[in-house]
């Protein structure tokens, strides 16, 4: 158990030190980074919405096709 705690402590310290070093040497301001992250998030969100809409349209077309088959089978019987 002590090894796991020690490992987690080391990983968290390493991650913190890495984040501080990156923050010091990044040539962008916090506002620029924030804007870039927001733009990326908005782009991913829009892509997910577009994919969702496209899939919904495909499924609705498939449903209409299946309902048409079912309806035509009931009429001929």
CA angle 49, 51, 57 (to 5 degrees): 100
Flag whether pLDDT at 71 surpasses 80: no
Counting the structural domains of the chain, the total is 1
Flag whether pLDDT at 5 surpasses 70: yes
DSSP 13-51: HHHHHHHHHHHHH-SS-HHHHHHHHHHHHHHHHHHHHHH
Domain holding 43, by residue range, is 2-76
Flag whether pLDDT at 72 surpasses 80: no
Q: What is the pLDDT of residues 24-57, one digit of tens each?
A: 888 888 888 889 889 999 999 999 999 999 999 9
Flag whether pLDDT at 73 surpasses 70: no
């Amino acid at each position: 158990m002590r090894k796991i705690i020690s490992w987690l402590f080391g990983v968290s310290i390493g991650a913190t030190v890495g984040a501080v070093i990156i923050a010091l040497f990044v040539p962008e301001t916090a506002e620029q980074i924030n804007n870039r992250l927001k733009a990326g998030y908005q782009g991913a969100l829009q892509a997910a919405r577009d994919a969702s809409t496209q899939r919904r349209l495909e499924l609705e077309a498939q449903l209409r096709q299946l309902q048409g088959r079912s309806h035509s089978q009931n009429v001929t019987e």
